[in-house]
Amino acid sequence: MEIHLAGSRPTRRAPPDYFTGTVLQDPIIATEQPARLVSTRVSFEPGARTAWHTHPLGQTLYVISGVGRVQAKGGPVREIRPGDVVWIPPGEKHWHGASPTNSMTHIAMQEAFDGSYVTWMEHVSDAEYSVKVG
């Protein structure tokens, strides 16, 4: 058994190669094989978002505060709020982040496959991000 005490692992700024705007990440857990869970608390300032990406075994988002947005490639931009749970199937290209005027924090949970839990792609353009929520 391992216990990670609150505050024992520092908050990190998300890398600009994979995020637009100010995004802070607080690690929750990254298990070692044979377990494969990776989970992070992610806080987005207004307008901040991920780049397009996929997960080999899918991803679950649990929104804990604020107002956010999420989109699967080719689908509508959807608004997400506290208590919402988003399931992104394996291999589905998507992005998520805060709304233009509100911050948003979620817990991101995904499993690694052969040591990989995400494939990053191009940044979400301002035009893609600014599409009307629907």
**Cis status of the peptide bond prior to 34, with omega within 30 of 0:** yes
Domain range for 29 is 12-121
The predicted pLDDT at position 7 comes to: 85
Query: Does the residue 63 lie in any domain?
Result: yes
79 closest CA partner among 43, 126, 133, 129: 133
Are 18 and 50 spatial neighbours (Cβ–Cβ below 8 Å)?
yes
**DSSP codes, 62-108:** EEEEE-EEEEETTS--EEE-TT-EEEE-TT--EEEEE-SSS-EEEEE
Domain count, the chain: 1
The predicted pLDDT at position 59 comes to: 98
Write out the chain's pLDDT in tens, 134 residues: 989 898 899 999 999 999 999 999 999 999 988 999 999 999 999 999 999 999 999 999 999 999 999 999 999 999 999 999 999 999 999 999 999 999 999 999 999 999 899 999 999 999 999 998 98
User: Residue 41 belongs to a domain with what CATH number?
Assistant: 2.60.120.10
